[in-house]
A and B are shown apart, each in its own frame.
Chain A
Amino acid sequence: MSNSPLRILLYIFLTISLFLSFSMDLKGENIHVYINGQDLSKELEPVLDKAVVYVKARELARLVGAEINWQQSIKTLTINDENVLIKMMLGNPYIQIGNRTIRSKGSLMLIAGHTYLPLEDVAQCLGFLFKREGNSLYLSRPETYIRDIRWQKEGQVIVVEMDNIVPYRINNTNNPARLELELEKAALADDFTDNLSNKNFYLAVTPVEEEARLKLSIISQYPIPFQGDRSLAEDGDNLIINFLPYITGIKWNKDQLEIAASGDVDRPEIMLLTDPRRLVIDIPDLMLSDFDLELANNPWIKDIRVSQFSYDPIILRIVLELYPDRYLHLAEDIRARDKIVLRTTEQTSLVDLAFGENRISFISDNKISPEIFKLKDPDRLVINVLNASRGEGFPDRIDVDNKLLKSIRTSRFNEETIRIVADLKEDIGYSLQEKVLSDGRIMNIILFENSFKEILINDSELKTDLVINFSGEVNYVIKEGANALILDVPGVKITEDYKLPAPLGAITDIKIKASAEGEGIRFEFATGEYENYKVFSSSPATSITLSLMKEEIRSSKISNLIVLDPGHGGFDPGAVGPSGLAEKDINLQIALLAEDILQREGYNVILTRKDDTFISLKDRVEMANKMEALLFVSIHANSANSAYSEGTETFIAPNKVASSQLLADSLQKNLLKELNRLDRGVKKENFYVIKYTNMPAALVEVAFVSNPHEESLLASNLFKEKAARAIAHGIMEYLQKINNGR
């Protein structure tokens, strides 16, 4: 071949193909670069040269959010990240980072007009963790460091102490004894300490460095009492995992059995079963754990078994096998909430049931501590006597028909209880008196009379509130005297041990004396300056509530006001069921029924609408806010584009969690108990009326009007009454919790 154009062309072609094949190689089809778990190979176009991986400088800077600058004259590239300034010269293996210089395995390269930099060294200069597995390169930059993981509140709370909150989630492991928490962009700090592992728990930390992800696995030999994402909360920059309490000990102490827990426990359900005679104690929301068992030698309990009876709901079951005729009852006077105490009860025989004008009496072999409570609709008093039997003169029924009593009924309520029911003609207070007879037996007397219990007084900027409580329903008259308010309550006795609060606010003195008009009490509240007074209770009432307004304010501005909000109304029917039932009607009916129950219990209730009118969401919110309501409950029936959707759910706004969560939990619990529908849970959504109201607020969705079965339930009065009762009870339970400071 001669030196012809063809030959030159051939050379050119060979050179180009050589270059092309080389650069195709450089393109590194198989090299993958991941930043924080994301494959960014497409953008970075990694190339491999002498075992060093290079990436496009401009793209890297863009992806990590750094400024980049190329100075053509001095062939120098500058990368300016928040914290570091990096300089590299073309072909020079030295990288300048701030005032330091390091030698890189590669150097800045120019490929097809683009600058490429050695990835590993530059990434490390930029503060990334670097990991290489064959042709995969992983860069990750943690945004937080975990300093410490520890227990708090005696094993009910785990605190994950970290620099700042990063995205987190709980993995579903299908293993109740394993809790997996994943934290994105997190790493363990150098001085990390594990203060979690103990005899019951073990902490395993698995860093997924490729994705800067940290997996914390908490493993126990027992199921861990967490409830998915609901267990997680943020506390400043720390993450909190809330656990349910667990059992710590069962101990026989003199004549009682003490069950101790690591935190507060609810009242257990107790059943007596026979063959063998055994007491079954179901404790809700308590977890099994290693616990101390000290039963010593006692003549009551033969054997004991403890098990996690159920996980959903969580119930711990203790079975006590008893000796014949033995029985233990729940002690009601225990103050400590992290303890359940069962006391021994002697078998007793009840005889000689009798009645008088205002009393019921019966005789027992020994001292009993009966459980006494009142029920409404119709009014009646229930007396439960544990571990008892009926003897002489204790018939099933006595028809009385005097001023107070209709009849007295007795029955064996269950294996261990005799129940006495007094059918009352009105709601009246009672007291139990015990007299020791000459033969050592006990005469138990239930005395019916209304007695004054206590006065509560509260002062605020706007008003002074007075609450006067009685043991039963009383009629009363309030008069305004000279510098005093006079409250006359006829037919009520003053008990010996009443206490009066110190005067406060507009009240300057409180006196109690026998009423001028004969039997009854007169309360004299000496008053300082006030504008007017308002009474919030109906008559008769067990609780008289009145406020002395210090200045003229909107009449409805009262602190203990419950706002019920029946959803929709007027031209807005809300959802409409398949057979035409309109949500707005259901909501209103339930709200009216709930209002009635709450008012009878002495609460002040206002409805945002009392009839079929349209009220905007904004007006509903304004009404509640202006009246400074104590709480707000919106009542709805649900719907979805599917006949299959079913169940009960309650919503709170994500911006107000603390008290609203408590309120919603209480509402949901009571709704499920009464209605027995599918539990869709308590959820957080930005619903208008619960988001913008200033007080604790929840929105209940009783059931689905779009579901034919639930629509028929919602149409029935019984179901609506149950729903109303559940809502009223939910509210009252919440208020009790709040008032007990829980």
Chain B
Amino acid sequence: MNRKSLFLILLILVIAFAAFYIWNREGGGILIDGKEEVKLYFSTRDAMYLEAELRKIDAGKSNKYIETITELIKGPESKELNATIPAGVRIRNIRIEGKTAYLDFNQALVDNHWGGSTGEIMTIYSIVNTITQFPEIDYAKILVEGQEIETLAGHLDISVALEADQNLIKD
């Protein structure tokens, strides 16, 4: 081994160490596979509570709020839980203003809903509790076709932004 190659090896080592050091300092937050684990709240079978199901979303893809609600719409994987969003529902847009998320759904959320106070609570709070899991969001306001609505199924006042309801969560 000549001196030149030893010099090169050492140089590479120095650069590698330095690079590792810098990367290690500045890094963090990026998960190994680029995915983030989120909680999705679904209804228990007796519709007494909401229970969280963990699911990985692709954080890099579009936006994490849309990704999360899209997963919520798909329904639970567990047979013990029930879907909270009626068939045909699409999330049109999610806009964040301050600490409030404005979630805009299509008309199917109202038209295809099964009704009932309990049914309505489960649907609304599965959305609200799911979106407010992100620490930067405290309130959720639900819109349909871009418009504010008085109520989804004739009971809950959703003309105002809602906070998460911890009483509904079963751990």
Contact = CB atoms under 8 A, between A and B. Distances in A.
Interface of A: 4-6, 9-10, 12-13, 16-17, 20, 23, 42, 112, 229, 567-568, 572-576, 583, 616-618, 636-642, 644-646, 649, 651, 680, 685-689, 691-692, 699, 701, 704-706
Contact of B114 (A641, A646, A649): A641
Contacts of A573: 115
B131 to A, nearest CB: 17
Contacts of B118: 638-640, 645, 649, 680, 701, 704
Contacts of A229: 167
B115 A639 contact: yes
Interface string B65-94: 000000000000000001110100000000
B113 to A, nearest CB: 9
B84 A641 contact: yes
B14 A13 contact: yes
Interface of B: 3, 6-7, 10-11, 13-14, 17-18, 21, 25, 28, 43, 45-48, 82-84, 86, 114-119, 121-122, 150-151, 153-157, 160, 162, 167
Contacts of B13: 13
B117 A687 contact: yes
A641 B82 contact: yes
A701 B116 contact: yes
A680 B10 contact: no
5 contacts: A6-B3, A572-B154, A575-B115, A639-B118, A699-B155
A23 B117 CA distance: 59
Contacts of A642: 43, 45-47, 82
Contacts of A20: 17, 21
Contacts of A692: 157
Contacts of B7: 5-6, 9
A649 B48 CA distance: 11
Contacts of A567: 154-155
B116 A704 contact: yes
A9 B116 CA distance: 77
A590 to B, nearest CB: 15
Given A567-B154, A645-B46, A688-B157, A640 B119 contact: yes
A638 B117 contact: yes
B115 A583 contact: yes
B116 A617 contact: no
Given A645-B47, A685-B155, A16 B11 contact: no
Contact of A644 (B46, B115, B119, B154): B46
Contacts of A17: 17
B17 A16 contact: yes
A699 B28 CA distance: 50
Given A20-B17, A112-B25, A644-B46, A691 B157 contact: yes
A685 B157 CA distance: 9
Contacts of B48: 680
Nearest to A576: B115
Question: Which interface residue of B83, B84, B119, B156 has the most chain A CB atoms within 10 A?
Answer: B119
Contacts of B3: 4, 6
A4 B4 CA distance: 12
Nearest to A17: B17
A651 B156 CA distance: 11
B121 to A, nearest CB: 6
Given A16-B18, A640-B116, A706-B119, A688 B150 contact: yes
A13 B43 CA distance: 60
Question: Which interface residue of A112, A651, A686, A705 has the most chain B CB atoms within 10 A?
Answer: A686
Nearest to A23: B21
A198 to B, nearest CB: 32
A687 B114 contact: no
A229 B165 CA distance: 14
**Shortest Cβ-Cβ A-B pairs, 5 listed:** A639-B116, A575-B115, A640-B47, A645-B47, A688-B157
